Amino acid sequence: MNRPYTFINVAMTADGKIDTFERKGAAISSARDKQRVDELRAAADAVLVGGKTLLEEQPKLTVKSEALREGRIQMGRSPNPIKVGVVTVADIPKDSDFIKAGDTRLVIFTTSQTSITQIEHLRALGVDVYVDQTPRVDLNKMMTTLKQIGVDRLMVEGGGTINFELMRLGLVDELLVYMAPMVFGGANAPTPADGFGVPREKVLAMHLTDVERWDDGGVLLKYKF
């Protein structure tokens, strides 16, 4: 396979929202789920987020546990997985946690809509920047590039637009969903898979492989494509 094994991990409410209508990164995960996510990150070669998440939430995408970071180092790996951002216009501030938090390689996939000055600025900060001469990042080509730079296991942490595009293109192997016992509501609140959607005859079918019922009231669902 000329791309990494790719899984999407998401925490959502019982009504299928990954944030409130305010889109400020509302907390959903329980303490146990946060630990699970940390373990997933520690086992991944890279963690990827889309443009809205990258620019609006400025995620750290680092491994929180010192023991897990140390385990990676003992295996000859960086303390944290490679951080990957996919964004049409890469106007990322230099003090973004995506850039400054943690010790690891930084990779941005963007388009020629990002100014040459900004691309040079990011590269000066140590970011590997790949630029597509297209309106949007070519996700198939991106996956091939990630494989070429040594990413065999890719964790995707959203948001809904990048999740859906990767699934629509057949670039996702597994979907992990923690469903929390809460409701956000809101017609415009983001979901695990946003974007344009597909008609019923083109539904993206999955196979349920496991269900875990947790004491915190949440449920962990595991699907394969």
Does residue 176 have a pLDDT over 90?
yes
Report how many domains make up the chain. Answer: 1
Does residue 133 have a pLDDT over 90?
yes
pLDDT at 173: 98
pLDDT at 194: 94
Q: Residue 16's domain is classified under what CATH number?
A: 3.40.430.10
Q: For 56-103, how does the pLDDT look when each residue is reduced to its tens digit (9 = 90+)?
A: 889 999 999 999 999 999 999 999 999 999 999 999 998 999 999 998
**Domain carrying residue 52:** 5-224
Average pLDDT over residues 111-123: 97
Q: What's the mean pLDDT when you consider all of the chain?
A: 96
pLDDT at 150: 97
Alpha carbon 110 to chain centroid distance? Answer: 15
Average pLDDT over residues 24-49: 96
pLDDT at 157: 96
Listed in sequence order, the residues at least 6 apart from 218 whose beta carbon sits closer than 8 Å to its beta carbon are 30, 32, 33, 178, 179, 180, 181
Average pLDDT over residues 115-132: 97
Taking the C-alpha atoms of residue 192 and residue 173, their distance in angstroms, rounded to an integer, is 15
CB 59 within 8 A of CB 20: no
pLDDT tier at 1, thresholds 50, 70, 90:
confident
Average pLDDT over residues 178-182: 98
CB 159 within 8 A of CB 17: no
Average pLDDT over residues 182-194: 96
pLDDT tier at 191, thresholds 50, 70, 90:
very high
pLDDT at 24: 86
pLDDT at 25: 87
The secondary element (H helix, E strand) that includes residue 51 is: helix 51-52
